[in-house]
Structure 1
Amino acid sequence: MAPRYDAVVVGAGFGGMGAGIQLDRLGLHDYVILERESDLGGTWHVNRYPGLAVDIASVTYSYSFEPNPNWSRLFAPGAELKKYADHVADKYGLRERMRFGTSVDSARWDAEHQCWVVTVAGGETLTARYLLTATGFLSQPYTPPFPGIETFAGKIIHTTAWDDTYDLTDRRVAIIGTGATSVQLVPEVADRARELTVFQRTPIWVVPKVDMPIPPAVQRLFARVPITQKAARLANTTALEALMVIGVLHYKQAKPLNKAAALLAKAHLRAQVRDKRTREQLTPDYDFGCKRPTFSNRYFATFNEPHVRLETGGIERIEPDGIVTATGAKTEIDTLVLATGFNLWDVNFPAIEIIGRDGVNLGKFWRDNRFQAYEGITVPKFPNFLSLNSPYSYSGLSYFTTIEAQMKHMARLFGELARRGETTFEVSARANTEFLDRVTGKLGSSVFYGGDCATARSYYFNQHGEAALLRPTSTVNAHREAVRFPLDDYLYGRAG
């Protein structure tokens, strides 16, 4: 029984769209992209909170093969990223192969027919020769189980489900969380609310944001002479590599660079916040890079405003009209904003139930045998399966470096399949183990294990204390291995 599709792709964000583009390049045109939301774009469709913007320069946060010369700023606002996603989907003919409002419940490898059986909400099943999951790293919102939250009588808004109709003017607002989202959101809410209290559990490293409008003349130059935009992309990528790969992943060898980044962030904080006590509360006590650092020119300065208060006491409970901390102090509010981030390791790896060869459950396999994926993309006992958001896959700071490395891996792997006249692949246990040993060995030099990250509460770490998210190599290495990995690291076969 032949499968219905060449491939099923789960997720219509930039990762899923990159997978679709590569499938077309490989001649596998009969695929479907399943998306649980009402439209494409992933993060840039779901998130629309005030202040939303890319936190990596726009020239880098885009496909290298599809540059956008029309970014309005160095760090483009979220609406422009959504517009760019729409442009890519339309230009590459992806939209007509997307199904929106379609939640995938599970996927199971059918050994008899050598295909994947994908079950969606409502019971419908789809069959495909290949399964590609592109559900993103930050796709499962997390709300801590605050005691009493169900009794709150005011308005509750999670940043991933922003209510555009709700007016914050003259409101008494509390924001829980001080991660990258909150850094963008806090100044915007402060501009509107009568009172704003920011509840901080863990401070975040914030460095100055070198942001400015991109003049129309520069946009025209990028459009007419594309190499100029490529040069800007290269310069920005090089800077990110210095920050992430050298300062974070090679912490032991380049500790002065890491300390210099921390000093820059501290100087930025000192220049922007007048009150000494507030500065102390906003200063992390873990090393730079243990959590993803962020950029802002407004976040720190917001705490100088008389109607803005930083609260660092632990939350004891939520009452109908406010929040009570462990000290017994109560903050009365009428609006509660949850900037509490995402759950990566409990429900996002993987985001759906995936059953491979011999009935192996991927989520259970990862939790029982450490989180792992060969070159950050394939897993033993899961034939014809590509996990585009996997352990040890994230390379550099721009998600697009990861996406494009995986597209190159797909091209090499499927090219070998075609050369052999085969239709199934599975990474060998040997190759997977060797890769896992190599990347975990390299992480020994990183800030995650060589620095002080004990108090960071970083999503880089899983529940076993492993920093299993980032690939501990340069972007150049990731892309080189994507086109040079040993072809005999895979086992090949033919359906039937």
Structure 2
Amino acid sequence: MRPDNEVLIVGAGFGGIGAAIEFASLGIDDVAIVEREDDLGGTWHVNHYPGLAVDIASVTYSYSFEPNPFWSRLFAPGPELKRYAEHVAEKYDLTRRMEFGTSVTGARWDDESGLWTVSTADGATRTCRYLVTATGFLSQPSTPDFPGMDTFTGTVLHTAAWDDSVDLTGRRVAVIGTGATAVQLIPEAAEVAAELTVFQRTPIWVVPKIDFPIPRAVQRLFARIPATQRAVRLVNTSLLEMLMVFGVLHFRQARLGNKAGALLARAHLRAQVSDADLRRRLTPHYDLGCKRPTFSNSYFRAYTRPNVTLETDGIGRIEPDAVVTGDGRRIEIDTLVLATGFDLWDTNFPAFEIVGRDQLSLGAWWRESRFQAYQGITMPRYPNLLSLNSPYSYSGLSYFTTIEGQMRHIGRLFGELRRRGASTFEVTGEANDAFLDEVTDHLADSVFYLGNCAGSHSYYFNHQGEAALLRPNATLTTLRAMDTFPLDDYRFH
């Protein structure tokens, strides 16, 4: 049977764009990209709250094969990432392949035809030979269900659905959450709000952010001599690699390095906050690396402003014009900001129902056995499925490391498909089991299992208590594996 599309990619963020570029390089032209939002860019289209910026230097947080010499700052603001996504999509002629406002609700494999049937929210179906899910790790917002939430009569904003028409100036604002998003938002809100109350469940490790405008002369140098920008990228990537490998993955061997990073964060807090009680409440009680640390020069200082209050007693209920704390105090507000992050494990693995061979639901299989994916991209009994946002797929601190590793995997896999004259691939159960054993063994040395992560409320951990998100390998090791995995790990038909 001839499918509607040879390849269907779900998601038009950087992951989906990278996969489409790889398929184009393989000469596969019949590629469609469906996206539930009204434009491309993924998280950099959806998020536009005040203070939005990358938390990885832009020379690293970008495709290595498509450098942008004109980043305005070392840590570029969010709108620049959105424009960069648009530039890449246009350059590689991908925009014409994109269909916006299309929400995928399910996909089902048919052994007889060797095709996936994909269902969308409008009731339509389409078929494809190869299905690629590029739905992102941070794509399903988490909305808390506090008692009385539905009675609040003021303005409610979620950082993943920001209303640009709302001005926080002069308002009495409550922010719920102190994760990486809140670290960027809170200093901006503190500057303009009449009163800002921050409700913190878990403090976050914050280290200084070495950020500055990139001079025009340097931008011109990067454009004229690309090797100079590649050198800067190499240095920055190496520093991030040291932080990830030695501070997180090899906690057993480099415990002192992890403690040194925590000391840096504590010194940063002490330099900005003189009040000992406030410092105590802002200091995490879990090891650095249990949840993703972040960078800021203004987050801690925001709490020293007279209009900002840190609340750590929890939330008892929401009233029409107030938040009532766990100990019964009533704080009047007119604006409620939910910086409550994203739901990874309940609604994002997978982001829609996927049914493979033997009518096996991917979500049910993951939850009834263990979260797993060979090389973080394929699963047995799910032929011709490439799941880019899977367990053990995230490599390094920059998402682009993950993307480019998966692009290499696609290139090697589809090159072998072509060489054999085959149309179907499926990873073997033996190869999948061996990879799961390997990553489980390597993670045994990590801060997740040897450090004190209790109370961190980290999205790295699933409900079974496994840190099943990060691939526990150095970047070069990951890229080499994606280039050289044994082809016999797959069955081809």
Is 2:129 aligned against 1:129?
yes
Shift of 1:245: 1.3
Runs of 4+ in 1 over 2 A off after TM superposition: none
The one-letter code sitting in structure 2 at the alignment partner of 1:407 is M
The corresponding residue for 1:350 is 350
1:360-412 per-position Cα deviation (integer Å, ceiling 9, x unaligned):
10000100110000000000000000000110000000000000000000000
Letter in 2 for 1:396: G
Structure 2 residue aligned with 1:268: 268
Deviation at 1:450, TM superposition (A): 0.4
SS of alignment partner, residue 406 of structure 2: helix
The alpha carbon displacement at 1:472 in A equals: 0.4
Q: Does 1:310 align with 2:310?
A: yes
TM-score (normalised: structure 1): 0.99
Aligned-partner SS, 1:318:
strand
Mapped partners of 1:40, 1:422: distance in 2: 32
- Letter matched to residue 363 of structure 2: G
TM-aligned CA deviation for residue 122 of structure 1: 1.3
Q: Return the alpha-carbon distance in structure 1 between the equivalents of residues 301 and 126 of structure 2.
A: 52
Q: Does residue 212 of the first structure (1) align with residue 212 of the second (2)?
A: yes
Alignment-derived partner of residue 433 in structure 1: 433
Distance 1:221 1:15 in 2: 29
What's the offset of the Cα at 1:111?
1.0
Q: Which amino acid aligns with 2:441?
A: G
Measure the CA separation in 1 of the matches of 2:246 and 2:374. Answer: 23
Displacement of 1:295: 0.1
1:319-376 Cα deviation digits (max 9, x unpaired)? 1111111111111100000000000001000001000011110000100110000000
Counterpart of 1:106 in structure 2: which amino acid? G
Aligned residue type for 1:198 = V
Paired AA for residue 150 in structure 2: E
> Is 2:340 the counterpart of 1:340?
yes
Alignment of 1:127-276 (within 5 A): 127-276=127-276
SS at match of 1:445: coil
Task: Name the SS of the counterpart of 1:157 in structure 2.
Answer: strand
Distance 1:102 1:32 in 2: 12
Q: What secondary structure does 2:192 align onto?
A: coil
C-alpha separation between the residues in 2 aligned to 1:167 and 1:482? 47
Match runs of 1:399-418 below 5 Å: 399-418=399-418
**C-alpha distance in 2 between matches for 1:117 and 1:31:** 15
Query: Kindly, what percent of the aligned residue pairs are identical?
Result: 68
Cα distance between partner residues in 1 of 2:184 and 2:108: 40
How far is 1:301 from its partner? 0.3
After superposition, the CA RMSD in angstroms is 0.5
Give distance in 2, aligned partners of 1:145 and 1:408.
Answer: 42
Q: Which amino acid aligns with 1:105?
A: T
1:28 CA drift (Å): 1.1
User: Deviation string for 1:217-241 (max 9, x for gaps)?
Assistant: 0000000000000001100110001
Measured in 1, the distance between the counterparts of 2:311 and 2:49 equals: 22
Structure 1 partner of 2:396? 396
1:246 shift after superposition: 1.3
User: Any gaps of 5 or more consecutive residues in structure 1?
Assistant: none
The equivalent of 2:120 in structure 1 is 120
What amino acid maps onto 1:141 in structure 2?
P
In the other structure, the counterpart of 1:299 is: 299
Q: Deviations over 1:242-296 (max 9, x none)?
A: 1011110000100010000000000000000121111000000000000000000
Residue of structure 1 equivalent to 2:10:
10
How far off is 1:31 after superposition? 1.1
* Unmatched runs of 5 consecutive residues or more in structure 2: none
Letter in 2 for 1:247: G
In the alignment, structure 1 residue 474 sits paired with structure 2 residue 474: yes
Find the counterpart in structure 1 of residue 107 from structure 2: 107
> Is structure 2 residue 86 aligned with structure 1 residue 95?
no
Superposed, which structure 2 residues align to 1:284-295 within 5 Å? 284-295=284-295
Cα deviation, residue 306, structure 1: 0.3
State how far apart, in whole Å, the 2-side matches of 1:284 and 1:258 are.
Answer: 14
Alpha-carbon separation, structure 1, partners of 2:159 and 2:123: 31
Q: Would you say the 8 A contact 1:2–1:113 is kept in 2?
A: no
- Give distance in 1, aligned partners of 2:468 and 2:330: 39
Aligned counterparts of 1:311 and 1:215: Cα–Cα separation in 2: 40
Where 1:354 maps in the other structure, the secondary structure is strand
- Aligned equivalent of 1:371: 371
Aligned residues: 493
Q: Distance in 2 between matches of 1:139 and 1:118?
A: 20
Q: Residues of 1 paired with 2:23 and 2:376: CA distance? A: 18
Partner secondary structure for residue 136 of structure 1: coil
Equivalent residue of 1:118, what SS? strand
